[in-house]
Amino acid sequence: MKGRSGKRARRESAIARTEKTILAHEGNMELTKRIIEDHVESGSKKFMKFNSNMTDIEILKLRDKKLERAKTSLENTKKLLNS
């Protein structure tokens, strides 16, 4: 796909993916815990910039930050889609 129709299709699919991610994060902490576990298992130092032995409070803070960023991204993508 090229041009405006391709750009629009990409944005629409991004909106659907982001909404799905937001719902998964709002549901419970399991997604955030899996993300942390995946980073630990990867062994890459690039992804180990955070403490891999997080407490539940730290995981909640990380989840809230991820939710805030995803919601902001969703709002911006919707604005661009409508412009």
**What predicted TM-score, i.e. pTM, was given to this entire model?**
0.75
Per-residue model confidence (pLDDT) at position 78? 93
Measured distance CA(66)–CA(61) in Å, rounded: 9
State the residue range of the domain holding 52: 3-82
- Residue 47's pLDDT band, with cuts at 50, 70 and 90, is low
Counting the structural domains of the chain, the total is: 1
Q: What is the pLDDT of residue 75?
A: 95
- Between CA 64 and CA 54 the distance in angstroms is 14
Q: For 20-47, what is the mean pLDDT?
A: 81
Distance of alpha carbon 53 from alpha carbon 82, whole angstroms = 42
